[in-house]
Each structure stands twice: as C-alpha cells, then as structure tokens.
Structure 1
Amino acid sequence: MSASELRYWAYPETGVLPTRLGNVLRAAEFYPIRRYGISLITVWPRLHKVLPRETAEDVEDARATMEFLLVLCLWLVAFAALNPVLAVLLGTSMPLSILLFALGLVLAYWAYLSAIPAAAEYGEHLRAAFEVHRLKLLEQLRLPQPDTLLAERARWEDLDRFILEGASPGWRYEPDAGNELRIRIVTSEHGRTDDEQ
C-alpha cells in the first residue's frame, strides 16, 4: 500500500491516534481539511440536512454496522472479565472460567478487528457524501458557487472561520432575481473579490 493510500484509508497526516480504529476514523475526518480546507466535524451537521434520503441512510447503515461491532466487543470484554469473578463468588469451576475468559477476549479482539473495515467503509461514505453534495450545501447556504478549486478552498475556509470563530469574511447580502437574499462575497480574507476568485 502506498503512502497516499495509507493516508487516505488508515492514517491522518497529523494527530495520529493510539488505535487503528481511531486512525481510520481520523483519516476520514481530515479528508475535507486536506482537500478543501474545512473540517468534516464542522460542516457535517449542515451537510447532513441537504443529503438525499438514500445517501443519509447509507451513511447511517455503515455507522450502525461499525457501532454494533464495537458494542459487541465491549460486551465480550465484560463477559471475559466477569467470568473469573463469578467463579470465585459462586464457587464454580475455575478452569472453565479461565477458558471462558480467554474465549471472551479472543472474540472481543475479533469484533474489534472486524470494526476496523466497517469504520473504513463508514469513512468512505462520509467522504463520498461530502464530495458529491458539498456544492449543494453552498447553494442551500446561498453562497456563490466557486468556479475553481482555489476559489472553493477559499470559500470553505471562510465558512469554517465564520462557523467556528464568527469571523466576518466580507459577505454582503443582496436580493437575487427571486427576491431571496443571496450572499455576495465582496472581499475575502484572501484579499480577492468574488469576481477575481
């Protein structure tokens, strides 16, 4: 697997976490930052509102699969840990309880390993939802559509700063032909007018 594939699927460029599962999820989270300059965590609640029902259901199904495997892992760890305790308290067979302890841990590890590809699939659904529907979100926010990748990055960075910091990116509200308010980017933090972007 090449370095770019590892960065895409399994490891973020910065902020590596101690678990493989965490790194797979962080890699998906950092994808829009690397490509467009906006955090998926910041934009996801807004993007989720404009997703078609089928796409939202696909994302939820992938997340549910991952969460099921993680909950199963937790229950198996609890099962393993409680067996020796119950053996001591109830006076049952200690060798059997040790065998069940080991079996519970092995199955918990299997459930955890199974959750990693499920997390990768969930992350891919998040990336795809952002890629396919990001411009629809800009349209719903009544922001002008960018015409270049550089202009789009500037647009997302302005929106990210506006959401996180309340920073004014130089937007002016003007009515459009349908008498609805639209945002016109007069100037941005990058020193360009909307026409120049």
Structure 2
Amino acid sequence: MSAKFLDSLGGKLAEQWAATLLTPAFIFWAGGAIALFQRFGWQAPIDWFGQQPEFLQIAIVIAALCLIAASSVVVQRFDLPALRALEGYWHPWLRPLRHWCLARQAERSQRVGDRWQELAQYSPDQLPVEQREEWIFLDWQQHHMPLSNQLMPTRLGNILRAAEQKSLEKYGLDAVICWSRLWLMLPDGVKQDLQTARADLDAAARFWLWSVLFIGWVLVGAWWALPLGILAALLTYYYWAIAAAVTYSDLIEATFDLYRHLLYQSLRWRQPTDPTEERRVGQQLTEYLWRGF
C-alpha cells in the first residue's frame, strides 16, 4: 500500500516538475547557467557536483527546481505591469519616446484611412482580387484602431483602446466603468471564453517580460543573450501578443453587443428603443454608475 502511494506521489511530482521545466522561467535560468559556466568554466562545477553524496545531489536539483518555480510565480505577479508597458502606459521620463511613437501611430492611421477611402470609392465586386483583399485588410485594421485623439503609442495599445471605445461609440457605455458590473451578470460560458482569451494575453506579456529579463545575462559576459532576448521579445509581441489582444478585444465588443441589456435590467433602468436614444441613455447610465447621479 505504501509502495503504491509513493509511486503515485512520485508520479504527481514528476508531472509537476515536468510542467515547471517547460516554463519560460526554466529557459531563463538555463540560459543563465550556460552564461555562468561559459565565463567561469564548466569542469569545476561538474566535478564538484559529482563528488557530492547522492542525497545532496538530489537536494541541489530540488533546490534548483524550487528556484525556477518561485521565480515563475514572482514574475507572474508582473503580468499587468508588463501588459501596460506593451500598451504604451509609460513613465513620464519616457515622454519623448511616447511622443515619437504616437506620431508614428498617427501616420499609420492616416495612411490606412487614406488608402481605405481610395479603395472604398469602388464596389468590392469591381476591384481586382488583390485590391479587394487589401480593402478587407485595411477595413480590419481600421476596426481595431481608435479615434485619432485617443491613439496609443503601440499597436497593442491601440487594439485594446479601440475595444474600449466601441461600446461608447455604439451604445454610450464606457467599457472601463461598465465592465466590472457587466462581468458579474455574464453566463458562465461567456466568462470562460473571456478568461481564456485574457489568460492568453497575459501569458504573452509574461513571456515578453522573460525575454527582456533574459537580456540581463549580458552583464555576465553572455553576448548572445542580447540578440536572443530581443528576437524572442519581438516575435512574442508581433506574433503572439497582438493576435491575443485582437481576440480579447473582439470578445469584449461582442459581449457588449449581446449582453448590454443585462445592465439595464439589473439596474432597473429604462431600456432604449433605437440607436440614437441608446447612446444618450447609455451615457446617462455610465454617469450614474461612476458618480451616482
């Protein structure tokens, strides 16, 4: 009985450690170990480890795995600051960089809008296949871009800012103010989909942060950590974080489209009957939720 229990316990621990080894934290510390061994030599630590008793070797391995797991938990606490950094909420001393990035985003928004207007003069059926695909892509880009006076300095920030504005533009409901109330009334299935999308976005921000931290191994002489960290951060941002932000923003917009009526019903607020009235009533409801009158 005890043998089966120990086998079961060992199997569970093995699964947990296997999951730990597949985390960005393990890659970070593995890179750090390679950097340290490369600078101070490989043979001496290996010989020292091999000379230790078996129980001490096991204790060292367990301690290393605990360090990896603990660092993973600590960095996970910085998911939100990392995501805010990717959105473009930067410290005031980065204001010159923010202004430069905002100018770049404004130029991109203007360029996309001008080209879309140029193609929109024709019916989609009249356009060649390539220009029709370009028009569709430009239309998609505009949908995930906020108003010119609400631009953020990064593409990811603009995607999420546009999602916040959609409910205000269409229904007069400020997503920042109304979201916490609406969330409490959503069906479990909708909540699960939103949580999955947000977890994917947070995971992308976390991996990006680990990539930036990986560059720090340059300080111990690992020059190769710089290009690897930069490459990982760029790939994570452009091919993971932005895609995750699009999915999350689309779900937020769809949630307001389909379930905003729950706010009116729960607050015993008169539900509007046409789009023009809804924007006005939605603004009143937002004001009530924020200020109480």
Q: TM-score, normalised by structure 2?
A: 0.51
Alignment partner, residue 230 of structure 2: 105
Deviation at 1:4, TM superposition (A): 5.0
CA contact (8 A) 1:7 1:27 kept: no
State how far apart, in whole Å, the 1-side matches of 2:172 and 2:278 are.
Answer: 9
Alignment partner, residue 175 of structure 1: none
Deviation at 1:144, TM superposition (A): 2.2
SS in 2 for 1:50: coil
CA contact (8 A) 1:84 1:101 kept: yes
Alpha-carbon displacement from aligned partner over 1:10-42 (angstroms, at most 9, x marks no partner) = x10131111111011101111111111221011
Deviation at 1:5, TM superposition (A): 3.3
What is the Cα-based RMSD across aligned positions, in Å?
1.5
Q: Map residues 113-128 of structure 1 onto 2, 5 A cutoff.
A: 113=238, 114-128=240-254
Alignment partner, residue 141 of structure 1: 267
Alignment partner, residue 146 of structure 2: 12
Q: Work out which of the two has the higher radius of gyration on C-alpha atoms and give 1 or 2.
A: 2
State how far apart, in whole Å, the 2-side matches of 1:12 and 1:64 are.
Answer: 24
Report the count of equivalent residues: 156
**Structure 1 unmatched runs, 5+:** 88-96, 168-197
SS in 2 for 1:142: coil
State how far apart, in whole Å, the 2-side matches of 1:55 and 1:16 are.
Answer: 29
Equivalent residue in structure 2 for 1:77, among 205, 208, 212: 212
**Structure 2 unmatched runs, 5+:** 1-134
Divergent runs of 4+, >6 A? none
Alignment partner, residue 276 of structure 2: 150
Alpha-carbon displacement from aligned partner over 1:67-91 (angstroms, at most 9, x marks no partner) = 10111001111111x211122xxxx
Larger proportion of helix: 2
Q: TM-score, normalised by structure 1?
A: 0.74
CA contact (8 A) 2:194 2:251 kept: yes
Deviation at 1:137, TM superposition (A): 1.9
Alignment partner, residue 170 of structure 2: 35
